[in-house]
Structure 1
């Protein structure tokens, strides 16, 4: 049986609705989801934190690195013969420059999660410092990754 209107409903005058009402006579509703808020911690912040903590560990363990400046740049000025560098060591200027985008984007992680991304950043800091000191990276912090 189909639904039919009664005569009373056909005779009622149309109700003038305010502009804020929708087609069903209800008020307009607010959005269910608020506008997206900026994340509390960005990828850049996590990268800076990983570089900073690794650099502080190395400075405390190796007196030769106490006056070395660990800097972060987005990209290297140009690709070299061996590809895109992950860092640049400037021994005369006592600077180590780490390039965030190549480290984050060109690293091949076997598991893509926060821990492995942080370990990749820390390993780049260790390898750059080892290049600066002309040592093996495992000599710089032999107890650093023992319990991982």
Structure 2
């Protein structure tokens, strides 16, 4: 039985960014061209933050006008004595950095579904903004704040 193998191109050891696997062609999307793309954890996290920030900007337009939000994977350095940081606030530069991995992975949700994960992410955004503005989280968004 004949085996189909790679053809030598004279560039041994160099891998192309668009290489095909075992001569089968370039990989396509898992969902195909006619279905919408799957939603990843990163997409869900980003959209949850975006909706919470939009809500806060509508409630507090003057205070939130110059605030910039960033998303990081993990906080730099070693964990502090209080554990791993979920966010970092820089009041001088008006920046809030939310760390995705600690928020997602270190949460102890009693029910792991989309609504509870979104509530957890929103509560972290509200607490970080409250820390930046020097207010209580209940004053920031009293009808939406859920503490986990």
Show CA shifts across 1:68-103 (max 9, x none): 001100000022221110000000011000000000
Q: Compute the TM-score of the two structures, normalised by the length of structure 1.
A: 0.71
Tell me the residue number matched to 1:74.
Answer: 73
Report the Cα distance in structure 1 between the residues aligned to 2:74 and 2:46, rounded to whole angstroms: 15
Tell me the residue number matched to 1:55.
Answer: 53
Report the Cα distance in structure 2 between the residues aligned to 1:116 and 1:42, rounded to whole angstroms: 16
- Alignment RMSD, CA only? 2.2
Q: Compute the TM-score of the two structures, normalised by the length of structure 2.
A: 0.71
What SS does the aligned partner of 1:93 have?
Answer: coil
Q: Find runs of 4+ consecutive structure 1 residues off by over 3 angstroms.
A: none
Report the Cα distance in structure 1 between the residues aligned to 2:143 and 2:122, rounded to whole angstroms: 14
Q: Which is greater in Rg? A: 1
Report the Cα distance in structure 1 between the residues aligned to 2:75 and 2:102, rounded to whole angstroms: 9
Report the Cα distance in structure 1 between the residues aligned to 2:52 and 2:106, rounded to whole angstroms: 20
The number of aligned residues is 114
